[in-house]
């Protein structure tokens, strides 16, 4: 099962840092997502795109997790050679993350 079936996602950027926030549709899925969606899993899933550290902030009351991806934007929107210098497409990639069927 893909993460997209349980959650939605938005990406933002500040300088060379990206943030990816993940929101479960149903609160009952939150504990599983919080347990499975570690910073390491996100970094591994995006290994073709990011190289820096991943920090994770959990907001159980909102059913949300915010991932902050350092040095993720090859210089940031003003310098990067990438076709998506904001990293806005990262949200679509995150939702493709494969989950073990609970």
Partner 1 sequence: MSATEPRVVRIGCGAGFSGDRIEPAIELAERGGLDYLVFECLAERTIALAQQARMENSQLGYDPLLAERMGAVLPACVTNGVKIVSNMGAANPVAAARRTAEIARSLGLSGLKIAAVEGDDVIAVLRTDGASTLPAEGAASPIAWDNIIAANAYLGSTPILEALRLGAHVVLTGRVADPSLFVGCLRYEFGWGEADFEQLGKATLVGHLLECAGQLTGGYFADPGVKHVEGLARLGFPLAEVSSDGTAVFTKLPGTGGLVSIATCKEQLLYEVQDPGAYLTPDVAADFSGVCFRQVAPDRVEVSGAGGRSRPELLKVSIGYRDGFIGEGQISYAGSGALQRAQLAVEVVAERLRLTGVPLRESRYDLIGVNSVCAEAQTGPVPSEIRIRAVGRTRTLEDALRIGREVEALYTNGPAGGGGVTRSAKEVVAIASTFVPRDRVVPRVAIETV
Interacting residues with partner 1 (CB under 8 A): 4, 8, 10, 12-17, 19, 21, 23, 25, 46-49, 55, 57, 59, 61-64, 66, 68, 75-79, 81-84, 89-90, 93, 96
Nearer to partner 1, 23 or 32 (CB): 23
Q: Collect all residues with Cβ–Cβ distance below 8 Å to 22 and sequence separation of at least 6.
A: 3, 7, 8, 9, 33, 37, 64, 65, 66, 67, 94
Tokens encoding 52: 């820096």
Nearer to partner 1, 32 or 64 (CB): 64
- Please report how close the Cβ of residue 1 comes to partner 1 at its closest, in angstroms: 13
CA distances from 89 to 13, 36, 61, 77, 95 (A): 11, 22, 27, 13, 11
Nearer to partner 1, 31 or 75 (CB): 75
- Please report how close the Cβ of residue 27 comes to partner 1 at its closest, in angstroms: 11
């Amino acid at each position: 099962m893909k993460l997209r079936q349980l959650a939605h996602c938005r990406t933002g950027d500040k300088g060379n840092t990206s943030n990816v926030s993940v929101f479960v549709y149903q609160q009952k899925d939150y504990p599983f997502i919080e347990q499975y969606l570690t910073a390491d899993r996100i970094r591994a899933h995006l290994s073709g795109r990011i190289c820096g550290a991943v920090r994770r902030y959990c907001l159980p009351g909102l059913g949300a997790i915010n991932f902050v991806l350092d040095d993720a934007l090859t210089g940031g929107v003003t310098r990067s050679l990438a076709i998506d210098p904001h990293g806005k497409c990262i949200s679509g990639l995150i939702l493709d993350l494969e989950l073990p069927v609970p």
